A and B are shown apart, each in its own frame.
Chain A
Amino acid sequence: MTDHRQGPRRRGHGELEALVLSALHGAEGPATAGWVQERLGGELAYTTVITILTRLLAKGAVTRERAGRSFAWTPASDQAGLAAHKMRKVLDAESDRGAVLASFVTGLGPDDERLLRELLGQSRAERAD
C-alpha cells in the first residue's frame, strides 16, 4: 500500500492548502515560504510548501511580491473565499448542475419571470390588505 509508505496519514491537497493559508494568515505582513514551513513545524518539505503556495496563487487566494532572491507571500482571501472559489469550479465543471446537487431554485423559462413577478406581486398585495 503506497499510503503507508508515504507517512502516517496522507493528506489531500485541499487540507494542505487550508493549512498553508491559515499559517499565512498568522503572519504579520508578507511571509516567505521558509517562514510558512517553519510555522507548520517543518512537517512539510520546502518544495511542497512552494507547490501549495503556487497553487493558491493560481486560485487567487494569495499574492506574492519579489523580496530579494525569493518571494514574499500575502494572503488575499480567507478560507471561505478559497472554498467559494473551489466550489464554483466544481459547479462550473458540472454541465447540468441540477443533475447531482438539488439546488434551491432552477433556471427560469422565457415566461417564468413575468409569471413569478405576478405571483409575488399578488402575494404582497394580499399581505397589505
Chain B
Amino acid sequence: MGWFVFLPLVLPLTAWPIARLAEQHLHPRAATRLLTGVAAVMAICSTVCLALVMVVGTAQLPGNPLPDGWSDPEVRAAVPYDEVAGKAAIPALCVVLVACGRTLWRHVTVRRRAHRALTGMPGTEVAVLPDEAPYAYALPGGRRDRVVVTTALLDCLEPAERRALFAHERAHLAARHHRFLLAVRLAARANPFLRPLSTAVAYTAERWADEDAARTVGSRRIVARAIGKAALVSRGTPVATLAGFAAPGPVPRRVAALLGPAPAGRSWPSVFTTAGLAAWGAAAGTAVSAMSSANSAVTMYFILHAATPF
C-alpha cells in the first residue's frame, strides 16, 4: 500500500486550476456538475484513506478494542511513518466527522425553521413577506418548494426584473442546486484542500440560475439589471475582504457575464486549451485518487485478514 494511502489527501490540489478556470471557460451547468463530481469523489477517497490510516493508528494504542493481530509489525509496515501518521489520523478523522455532521445538521435545521416560519401564509409557491430588509431566496423541501421574497426587494424592481428574479429562484429549485451546494460544502469539510471547489460551485450555481433566468425572460440584460439593483439596495452587509486586494466580488462578475455573450453550450473544452488541460488534470487527479484509495482499501483488507487469527 505504502505511499498510495496518503495520495488522496493531497490530490485535491490537482482540481485547483479547473476551480479557477471553470468560471470563464465552461458553461455554468457543466462547471457545477464537473466540480461537484470531482469534489465528492475526492472527499470520499480522502476520508476512506484517513480511516485506513486511523485503523493502523488505533491498533497501536494499548487497550484498543481491535483484534490483537492488527497491531502486528506487518500491519504497521503497510503505512509509512505509521506511528506519527496513525496517531495524527485519529483526531483528523474525528474533526472531519464532527464538521460534516454539524454542516448537515445546520442545513436541515435552517431549512426546517424557514419552512416553519411560513406557517399560516397561503400555500402558494411564492411567499411575499412584508419586510424592509431586501432579500430573496429559494427554499427547497417542506410541503412544497417555495420562493421567499420581501416587499422591499420587489419594490425596487420593475415588472420584467421581478420576472427575472422569480425565474432565477425557480431555476435553483428546478435544478436542485441545494444538493450540489451541500455536497461541496461537505467535501470542503472532509478535506480543506477542496475549499476552492466549494467557493467555485457556489458561484457557478448562481451563474447557472442566471443563465436559465435569462432564457426564461428572453433577455440577459434584464437579469443583469435585476441582480445589480438587488445588490445595490441590499449592500448593507459588506463581505470581509481586504480593501486593497479585493478582486471583483461575485455580483459584479455575474452582471458582467450576463452583459457579455451567452456561454457556449459545449460542455467539455478541448485538451489543447488551458481550461482543457486543467479539466483533464482534475479528471486525472480524481481517477488517481479513486484508484489509490481503492488499492489501499483492498491491500489493507488482505493484510488485516491475514493478521486476524480465526
Instruction: Spell out A's residues near B (CB within 8 Å).
Output: 12, 14-15, 17-19, 21-22, 77, 79-84, 86-91, 93-94, 98-113, 115-117, 119-120, 122-123, 127
A80 touches B230 (CB 8 A): no
In the complex, B168 has a CB within 8 A of chain A: yes
B120 touches A107 (CB 8 A): no
Shortest distance between the CB of A46 and any CB in chain B (Å): 22
B110 touches A112 (CB 8 A): no
B228 touches A84 (CB 8 A): no
In the complex, B136 has a CB within 8 A of chain A: yes
A99 touches B135 (CB 8 A): no
**Quick one: which of B113, B178, B235 contacts A90, CB cutoff 8 A?**
B113
A84 touches B129 (CB 8 A): yes
Bound together, the chains give a CA A83 to CA B255 distance in angstroms of 31
Interface string of B127-150 (1 = CB under 8 A from A): 111110101111100000000101
Nearest-CB residue, chain A, relative to B180: A102
Report how many residues on chain B are interfacial, defined by Cβ distance under 8 Å: 63
Nearest-CB residue, chain B, relative to A104: B136
Check A107/B249 contact, CB under 8 A, given A83-B120, A87-B118: yes
Q: Could you say which of B43-51, B239-247, B272-280 contacts chain A?
A: B239-247
B205 touches A102 (CB 8 A): yes
Interface string of B253-269 (1 = CB under 8 A from A): 00110010000000000
Nearest-CB residue, chain B, relative to A15: B119
Bound together, the chains give a CA A9 to CA B249 distance in angstroms of 49
In the complex, B252 has a CB within 8 A of chain A: yes
In the complex, B225 has a CB within 8 A of chain A: yes
Bound together, the chains give a CA A30 to CA B246 distance in angstroms of 56
Q: Point out the residues of chain B lying under 8 angstroms from A123, CB to CB.
A: 221, 224-225, 259
Nearest-CB residue, chain A, relative to B224: A123
Shortest distance between the CB of B206 and any CB in chain A (Å): 7
A107 touches B232 (CB 8 A): no
Q: Point out the residues of chain B lying under 8 angstroms from A113, CB to CB.
A: 232, 235
Shortest distance between the CB of B207 and any CB in chain A (Å): 12
Shortest distance between the CB of B131 and any CB in chain A (Å): 4
Check A110/B130 contact, CB under 8 A, given A83-B118, A119-B255, A120-B225: no
Ordered by A's residue number, 12 sampled pairs between the chains whose C-beta atoms are within 8 Å are A15-B120, A79-B121, A83-B117, A88-B131, A90-B117, A91-B135, A101-B138, A107-B237, A109-B248, A116-B251, A119-B252, A127-B221
In the complex, B172 has a CB within 8 A of chain A: yes
A89-B117, A106-B251, A110-B243 given; name 19 further pairs at CB < 8 Å.
A79-B120, A83-B118, A83-B121, A86-B116, A87-B118, A87-B129, A87-B131, A87-B148, A90-B113, A101-B114, A102-B138, A106-B249, A108-B232, A108-B251, A109-B247, A112-B248, A115-B248, A119-B228, A119-B259
Q: Point out the residues of chain B lying under 8 angstroms from A105, CB to CB.
A: 227, 230-231, 234, 251
Shortest distance between the CB of B269 and any CB in chain A (Å): 26
Bound together, the chains give a CA A65 to CA B110 distance in angstroms of 35
In the complex, B54 has a CB within 8 A of chain A: no
In the complex, B238 has a CB within 8 A of chain A: yes
Near A by CB (< 8 A), chain B positions 171-211 give 172, 177-178, 181, 185, 202, 205-206
- Highest count of chain B CB atoms <10 Å: which of A79, A109, A113: A109
Shortest distance between the CB of A11 and any CB in chain B (Å): 10
A17 touches B120 (CB 8 A): yes
A86 touches B117 (CB 8 A): yes
Q: Point out the residues of chain A lying under 8 angstroms from B153, CB to CB.
A: 104
In the complex, B250 has a CB within 8 A of chain A: yes
Q: Point out the residues of chain A lying under 8 angstroms from B168, CB to CB.
A: 104
**Quick one: which of B107, B118, B227, B255 contacts A100, CB cutoff 8 A?**
B107
In the complex, B165 has a CB within 8 A of chain A: yes
In the complex, B215 has a CB within 8 A of chain A: no
A102 touches B177 (CB 8 A): yes
B110 touches A100 (CB 8 A): yes
In the complex, B111 has a CB within 8 A of chain A: yes
Q: Point out the residues of chain A lying under 8 angstroms from B248, CB to CB.
A: 109, 111-112, 115
